[in-house]
Structure 1
């Protein structure tokens, strides 16, 4: 079974593209994408410092471009993962009536970290810390999916 997974953050230039990049390395057979709840960065590549931090770990994000989350994503994906609770609320606000696609907090897959969300490294400036947390959650997600 091919898993179709969408990673979502606010602008789709830091956390969600990093999560997509990390997960596609861990599980290349999955169909992945990322999106933002906002439209400020549509068409832009991931934030430079995030790309540099990811590249240092062998993760190439250069082919990714920001896009905005839409209600159609509920039918295009089997699982939608938000980076924080505001992302989850914004995603759920667009849920079509009767749709049952699971929407979960990404950090639920890394309970050992104690993290309640993936902090935005634009504000923390801790790109490596964000990637460590993303890697832990991606590994937990892979295990959850039975791989």
Structure 2
């Protein structure tokens, strides 16, 4: 009788632990996905801005501005401290790519996003800058 009760108790405790661990891992996975999507959405907006350059007052320009603001808000909400700090540095410089300092700040921000989204996977800043901005713009 005691063995049966202990066995049943073990099964119940095991099921509860499995449930809580699965729930915890699902929450972490969801947060990681939301964070990575915010990073990707912001970078897509930057790419559209650089390649399409819609007029700010046009419907397309206002929609792109709204999507960019939304992505920035999600980055500030879900992003790691390192990403938010790198993002703030880029914004302080004007959030454009006109100077080598601005391009370096943008590259550092994308590098921080990459490390955060991929769990520490780093790449050389110079290589990342060439991929993002092209060889002729890289510092």
Query: TM-score, with normalisation over the residues of structure 1?
Result: 0.32
Say which one has the larger Rg: 2
Q: Identify the structure with the greater strand proportion.
A: 1
Structure ranking higher in helix proportion: 2
Higher RCO (CA 8 Å, separation ≥ 6 residues): 1
